[in-house]
Structure 1
Amino acid sequence: MKFLTLFAVIAMIFAVAPTADDYNIDASHSAMAFKVQHFGAGYTHGRFNDFGGSVTFDAKDDSKNSISINIKAKSIDSGNAKRDDHLRGKDFFFAKKYKTLTFKSTSFKRKAGSKNEYEVKGVLKMHGKKKEITVNAKFLGEGSDPWGNYRCGLSCNFTVKRSDFGMKYMPNGIADEVHITADVEGVRKK
C-alpha cells in the first residue's frame, strides 16, 4: 500500500507541467529608445520615460511566451524641450488625442539554431493606427536580486515606418524608418 501511495505522489508530481512565469516590467531598469536619421546625416535619439507592461516567459515552451507594453506618448524625451513639445503635437504623436502607444505579441518563436533569440510578432498601436510588426528579441538572462525578487531580461529591436502610422511631417528631412530598442527587465509576480 505504501508503494502505491508513493507511486501516486510521484506520478502527480510529474503529471503537473511547469507553467510559464509572469513578470511585471520594471521601468526603472528598462528603456524604450529610438533613433531616426535627420536630413540624411546623423541620427536624432530619444526615449519614452513613462511605460509599463508585462512579460510571460517559459524557456522550454515558446507557445507560452508573450509581451505587452504600454507607453505614455507625452513622456517622449529627445533631450530638447522645444523639439519634445513639437513631437507631442499634431505633426507627430498628437499626445493629447492618442495618449498611449501599445504593443501586444501574438506569437513568440525561437529562431532556428538559437538558444536565446526569438522572432516575436505582434500588433503595435500608435497615433490611432494598428499594424502587425515583427520584433527581434533576445533573452538576456534571469536570476534573483538581493531583495527576494526574481528577474528576467529581454532586449528587443525593430524598425517601423512612421508613415504607416500617419506621421508624414517633413519627409525630406526626417527619415521614414525609425529604429526602436526596447530593453525590458521584468520582476516575477509573487
Structure 2
Amino acid sequence: MNKFLKSALLSSAIAGSALLSTMASAADYVVDYDGAHASVNFKIQHLGYSWLTGRFDKFSGKFSYDAANVAASKIEMTVDTTSINSNHVERDKHLRSDDYLDVSKFGSARFVSSKVVDKGDGKLDVIGALTLHGVTKTITINAEKIGEGKDPWGGYRVGFSGTTKIGLADFGIDANLGPASTHVELAIHIEGVRQ
C-alpha cells in the first residue's frame, strides 16, 4: 500500500472518529416536570404600584444539548395555559377568560427554538417561535447554563434558566392594565434528564 493511500485512510479514520465523538456527546433530554425540578413563572406590574407574580403548573418539554456544539442545541416547550396560578382563584378565572388567555380556544402555548447563540461563559440566546393566544411571534430567551452531571439515581442531568419579556398586545391580548403593565416578564427554569 503506497504512502498516499495509507495517509488518506488514516485521515478518514481520524475524521470518522472525531465525528463519532461529537455525535456521542450530543444528547436528548426531557424536562423534569414530574420531579418538580422545573418551573415556568411570570410577573407583571399591577397598575405600576407592585408586581403580580404567578406560574403555570402544567407544562412539558424536551431539548437536545451538546456542550461541544452549543449552537446545535434545540428546545421545545408546551405550557398548559389552563394551569395558570396567581395564588388567587377568582383572578385566575379572569386570566383564563377571553379578556386574557381565552383558554377555551387557546388551551396551550408553545415555544420551538430556531437558533441558539453561544455567548460564552454558559450564557446563550435561545431564539424561536412562541405561539400564545393564537399568535406566533419570534422571541429571544436570555439563558444561562446552571450545571450538569450525574444524579444520585444513575442518570445524568443538565439545567438552565432563562428570561424574556413579551408584549400583551403583540399576542392579541388587548386588556388595558395601564402604561406600566403592557409587558409580562417570563422566567423559565428547567432541569433535563438525559434519555
TM-score, length of structure 1 as denominator length: 0.90
Consecutive unaligned residues of structure 2, counting only runs of 5 or more, are 1-5
Q: CA RMSD in A?
A: 1.9
Mapping of residues 107-126 of structure 1, within 5 Å: 107-111=115-119, 114-126=120-132
Contact 1:72 1:100 in 2 (8 A): yes
Which of 178, 181, 185 is matched with 1:172 structurally? Answer: 178
Query: Residues 5-50 of structure 1: CA distance to partner in whole angstroms, max 9, x if unpaired?
Result: xx79x74544524221110001110010000000111000010000
Is the alpha carbon distance of 1:81 and 1:174 closer, same or farther for their aligned partners in structure 2, counting shifts above 3 Å?
Answer: farther
Find the aligned partners of 1:107 and 1:129 in 2 and give their Cα distance. 20
Q: How many residues align?
A: 182
Find the aligned partners of 2:28 and 2:143 in 1 and give their Cα distance. 17
Q: Which residue of structure 1 lines up, in the alignment, with residue 88 of structure 2?
A: 80
Which of 137, 143, 150 is matched with 1:137 structurally? Answer: 143
One-letter code aligned to 1:67: I
Query: Residues 121-173 of structure 1: CA distance to partner in whole angstroms, max 9, x if unpaired?
Result: 10000000000011101011111111111110010100000110111112327
Find the aligned partners of 2:122 and 2:140 in 1 and give their Cα distance. 16
Which of 52, 58, 80 is matched with 1:50 structurally? Answer: 58
Q: Which residue of structure 1 lines up, in the alignment, with residue 43 of structure 2?
A: 35
Q: Which residue of structure 1 lines up, in the alignment, with residue 3 of structure 2?
A: none
Between the aligned residues of both structures, percent identity stands at: 33
One-letter code aligned to 1:185: E
Q: Which residue of structure 2 lines up, in the alignment, with residue 96 of structure 1?
A: 104
Consecutive unaligned residues of structure 1, counting only runs of 5 or more, are none
Find the aligned partners of 2:174 and 2:61 in 1 and give their Cα distance. 28
Contact 2:160 2:191 in 1 (8 A): yes
Find the aligned partners of 1:160 and 1:53 in 2 and give their Cα distance. 20
Which of 152, 158, 164 is matched with 1:158 structurally? Answer: 164
Corresponding residue SS for 2:87: coil
Contact 1:163 1:176 in 2 (8 A): yes
One-letter code aligned to 1:64: A
Find the aligned partners of 1:149 and 1:16 in 2 and give their Cα distance. 22
Find the aligned partners of 2:56 and 2:180 in 1 and give their Cα distance. 19
Q: State the shift of 1:84 in Å.
A: 0.4
Mapping of residues 53-72 of structure 1, within 5 Å: 53-72=61-80
